[in-house]
Amino acid sequence: GQNIDQPTEMTATEGAIVQINCTYQTSGFNGLFWYQQHAGEAPTFLSYNVLDGLEEKGRFSSFLSRSKGYSYLLLKELQMKDSASYLCLYNQGGKLIFGQGTELSVKP
């Protein structure tokens, strides 16, 4: 199947840390991406994981466990501008499969 699942919405406080989880069907897996999308705009690339482990890039980190079909995006030192939709998607045999997105609201 092409199932990919992430929470619909999350709320966090400015300066805090938030973890957005994503689970996916493992068949045909060829890499997992996280994108950030602000309302009315195209998605922008955040991270790419193809091997197990944690990839750190500034305030954002992404983790992958291929055997569990699980990934998370970790956002540290949250800022108001981080309020956006975060899309988990994976490459299944060359085709990108999108999750429904997690709407993150950062409160002061």
Partner 1 sequence: GAVVSQHPSWVICKSGTSVKIECRSLDFQATTMFWYRQFPKQSLMLMATSNEGSKATYEQGVEKDKFLINHASLTLSTLTVTSAHPEDSSFYICSAGSGRSTYEQYFGPGTRLTVT
Q: Which residue, among 78, 103, 97, 105, has the nearest Cα to 33 in the 3D structure?
A: 97
What is the closest distance, in whole angstroms, from the C-beta atom of residue 94 to partner 1 in the complex? Answer: 6
Q: Which is nearer to partner 1, 41 or 52 (CB)?
A: 41
Under the rule (CB under 8 A), what is the footprint of partner 1? Answer: 30-31, 33, 35, 40-45, 48, 50, 87, 91, 94-96, 98-101, 103
Q: Work out how close the CB of 15 gets to partner 1 at its nearest, in angstroms, rounded to a whole number.
A: 27
